[in-house]
Structure formats: structure tokens, C-alpha cells
Amino acid sequence: MIISQADARRIALAAQGFDRPLPSRVTAAHVRKVADRTGLFQIDSVNVLARAHYLPLFSRLGGYDRALLERAAWGPKPHRRFFEYWAHEASLLPLELHPLLRWRMARAERGEIGYAALRRFATEHRSEADAVLARIAAEGPLTAADFENGTSRSGWWEWSDVKHALEWLFWSGRITTATRRGSFARVYDLPERVLPPAVLAMPTPSVAEAQRALIERSARALGIATAAELRDYFRLKPVEADHAIADLVEDQVLVPVRVDGCSQKVWLHRDAAVPRRVRGAALLAPFDPLIWERGRTERLFGFRYRIEIYVPQAQRTHGYYVLPFLMDEALVARVDLKADRQAGALLAKRITFEPGAPDDTLPRLQVELERMAQWLGLSDVRVGDIIRPA
């Protein structure tokens, strides 16, 4: 089967929920549906505009009450719909994915994954990690800062060691995030005190079964993708992902296809929709699943995108926190955005149009900027430089 570039874009957009109109009123059910579609919300600490996990919902639903996500992520146990763990990166994930990631927790517990400072807690420093765990068990939810003035009985660790021990316990699934506090610091507690009992009671699949399910989730979320893109979604190893892909192809869940102009082997999920056209507009966070794999973004949309947070200011091309602007089926501009909360203004510090951007790009972008400002509780939108291609 041969698929045109235009249809490949439409498949990708529909798979991520961009083929649907914005709801008139956003409910908790809308939040769950978006999460089921995307599979996760990536977490990032940068707050120059809004924290990363809030933005994909805004892109797909428009203005919504952020308390809907906060309650589902960090609210009382009966209302929990998400948990935090390492998936693509640090992520909020639907609770039903918990069993599918227990193999990763088990590998971390055995010291098979993670950086060196983490792995040592699986071996020579396990007793120190157990002491941290015991304190959480005895005292209840704690942040890393709560350990800052404490010392272990053996006196071996520094403040950084406590943080590594907590991170290893988190990777291992022995603690989880109860809530977030202050400047978005994790508050750790035991899983049985945070997650609904029904989630912890769900059977644990084999590693192969779990990875197959994760690849199927990736394919459903992407619609159409290469093998590298499928495994990148949940950060699976090539060999393990290839086994899962082969299994899904054999069961006709994934269909091998060719995309015009693409030399790579591509897989189509059997349930992927192919809209006749996609209408709508959205500002996309740097960590939105539609665009987080930069090679795929360039291949599908002809849009080269790099985040420049860590680039020295003088060397930045487009700005510090730049959001691509999706209009219908194309990425037509990029906007360097900042929420100036003190001034009550959304600052579009620089708008850069792509070659061939339609004439109505600016007015449609202005609508989305006004929508975002209202959502963030800002009363004004201020536009700086507008750069058009020569």
C-alpha cells in the first residue's frame, strides 16, 4: 500500500486528536479521552509559559480548568486517573498503563537500567535506600528537601545521595508521586497509599506482552510511524521493539506501507483514520507527542524544529521557548512565548512565518494567542517582532 504525504499527515493529526472541533465546555471525560489518545503527558519543569503537561490538553481542547488534570493526577485516591513514571521521559500516564511498565520497575530494582549513581542502590547501597523508604513508610509523604538535614546512621551520604536514593526507589516502583508541592517538587509516598487498590491488583503481564502492548499504544497514538518512532514513544530498546512489531504485524494490527518520498519502512495502525481534510489551529508545546520526535516532524511537515532553551541567547535562531503553530494540516509559524504574570500579559516575543504560510496565518494565530492568554488568566497579548521569509 502506498500512502501520500498529505494522507500521512492527516493520519498523524487524527491519531493525536487534531481532527476534532474544540468542545464548548471541557469536562474530566475530555481529559481522559485525550490521555487515552496520546498515552501520556510529558512532564518538564520549565514554567516560562505553562508547565509542559498542561499544554497538550490546551492544544486539543482549548481553554480548560487545569484543576481537572491536577485532580486526576495528584488528587485523592478515589479520583486518581494518572500516575507518574518514566515513559517517554518523566510522564503522567493513565493508570491502566501501570502493569505495562512494571518490567521497567523490576529492571531498575535489579540495577539493570538507570545511570550509575542510581544503579548502586540496587547493590552496595541498598540498605541506605531501604532506610529512606522506611522513613517515608513511617512518616508519610515526604519531599527530597525533607531529608536535607538528615543523615544516615552510617554517615556515608551527602545531600545528593539522598536524591539519588529517592530517584532509584521511584524508578523501582517502590515509591511514587503523591502530589507536587511548591516549585513543582515531587512529594513521595508508598504506592499503596497513593494508587487505587484495583490498579495495584491488576495482573502483571510478561515482559514481551507488556512491550507488545506499549508498541500497540505507540502505533495507535502515532497512526503511522517508522519502527524507531514506535519504540521512541515509550523508550523501548530496538531488539525488544522489533519483536513486538513483528508480532503485531503477524496479527495484522500493524500494516506495512510506503509513504511517497520516504525511503524508510513505515507501519500503519489498522484502526488509523484517514480524514479527507483536517481543519483547526493549535499552538504546540515543545514536548507535544505530535512533534517531540524531531525527525518525524521534519519528514511529515517539512518543519525543522529544535528547542533552544539550553542554547546561549546570542546563538538562538527563533527564541527561548518556541511553540510551532499548527494551522489545518501544516506547521506554518513558530512563536517565542512567555507568560509575563506580573504584567498580566502573554508575550509573543517573536513570530516567525514559514515559507508559504497562508495569508490568514496571522489573524488565526492571534485568535489562538487570545485563547491562550485567557486560559492562563492574562488580560493582554503583546506581539513583538514578526519575521516573514524573504
**Contacts (Cβ under 8 Å, ≥6 apart) of 250:** none
CA distances 355 to 237, 307, 333, Å, are 37, 20, 9
Alpha-carbon distance values, 336 to 303, 306, 312, 349, 355 (Å): 16, 12, 15, 5, 18
Query: For the residues 189-218, what does the mean pLDDT come to?
Result: 98
Q: Is pLDDT of 5 > 90?
A: yes
The vertex-181 CA angle with 178 and 184, nearest 5°, equals 105
pLDDT reported for residue 157: 53
Give the pLDDT of residue 149: 62
Cβ atoms within 10 Å, residue 263? 7
114-195 domain in CATH 1.10.10.10?
A: yes
- Residue type for position 280: G
Judged against a pLDDT cut of 50, whether residue 300 lies above it is answered with: yes
Query: Grid coordinates representing 30?
Result: 475530555
Give the separation between CA 75 and CA 58, rounded to whole angstroms. 20
Report the pLDDT value the prediction gives residue 156, as an integer from 0 to 100. Answer: 47
Minimal CA–CA distance to 52: which of 309, 278, 298?
A: 309
CATH 1.10.10.10 domain extents, the chain: 114-195
pLDDT over threshold 90, residue 4: yes
Can you give the pLDDT at residue 1? 87
- Give per-residue pLDDT as tens, 28-70: 999 999 999 999 999 998 999 999 999 999 999 999 999 999 9
Q: Where are the alpha helices (DSSP H) in 140-206?
A: 159-171, 191-194, 197-200
For 219-228, what is the mean pLDDT? 98
| Predicted local distance difference test score (pLDDT) of residue 159 | 57
Predicted pLDDT of residue 262: 87
Q: Quick one: average pLDDT of 280-297? A: 97
pLDDT digits (tens, 9 = 90+) for 126-177: 999 999 999 999 999 999 999 876 544 444 456 588 999 999 999 999 999 9
Cell numbers representing residue 188 in the block: 513521595
Which DSSP letter does residue 97 get?
A: G
For the chain, give the mean pLDDT: 95
Residue 334's pLDDT is what? 98
Give the pLDDT mean for 207-219.
99
Instruction: Answer whether 178's CB lies under 8 Å from 187's CB.
Output: yes
pLDDT surpassing 50 at residue 224: yes
CB 60 within 8 A of CB 290: no
Per-residue pLDDT at 218 exceeds 50: yes
CA 286 – CA 310 distance, rounded (Å): 13
**Residue 364 main-chain phi, psi, to 5 deg:** -70, -35
What is the per-residue pLDDT for 148? 77
pLDDT in tens, 256-286: 999 998 889 999 999 999 999 999 999 999 9
DSSP-assigned letter for residue 205: P
pLDDT in tens, 66-106: 999 999 999 999 999 999 999 999 999 999 999 999 999 99
Find out whether 148 and 105 touch, Cβ atoms under 8 Å. Answer: no
- Give the separation between CA 226 and CA 93, rounded to whole angstroms: 23
